[in-house]
Amino acid sequence: MGSALRLIGLLAAVGFVGLLVYGLLAQAPDRTIDDALAANRTVDAPGFELEVLIDGRPGPLTSVWTRASQDRKVDLAELRGTPVVLNFWASWCDPCREEAAVLQRGWRRASRRGVLFLGLNMQDVRQDARDFLLEFRQDFPHVRDPDRGSARRWGVTGIPETFFISRRSEVVGHVIGTVNSRQLDDGVQAALAGTPQDAAQGGKQLAPR
């Protein structure tokens, strides 16, 4: 009887340790993208299909955006063939407010070169997000993920974060934290050329909720 109880206790302890390890691994950020960039390799952009938050004013990229968003959802695969700058943000994120004008100016420059800026609003109230975009006059397209599903797949550890995606739908650059104009221009060039650059540390960042 004593041996049976000890065995049960041992199995319970092993199970607890297993659950603990699983929990730690599940919470660990996915470093697939940054590890590939550090090795000077591109990596396929993780997919998503998200509802449109605003269409904005895509300008020279109107036909590209209209084709992808006609069902009011956007699948990243539908943008293949167009370089993309993908920015994760939320209205409650103060660092996101700090970079808003930088992104808008960058969008004005890059759109003329055929690069689409796409905001990915996460963990936010829809109207709060729209109010944010009106306040900062951001008129590039945005999609919305009400939770953190997309952020987890992309290995996002906080917001804001910005990814640069080539025409082949490969990630070629990543800025962690607020992005500055130089980092934005360098990332746009990498997306146009399809050449990888190491992940860069930007400015301030907030942990997801």
Identify the sign of the CA torsion 175, 181, 185, 186. Answer: negative
- Angle of helix 94-111 relative to helix 181-193, nearest 10 degrees, comes to 50
pLDDT at site 29: 59
The answer to whether the predicted template modeling score (pTM) of the entire model surpasses 0.75 is yes
Beta strand spans in 15-115 (E): 43-44, 49-54, 73-75, 84-89
What is the structure's pLDDT at 208?
Answer: 81
pLDDT of residue 31: 87
If you classify domain 31-201 with CATH, what class do you get? alpha beta
Q: Specify the residue for token string 């603990």.
A: 20
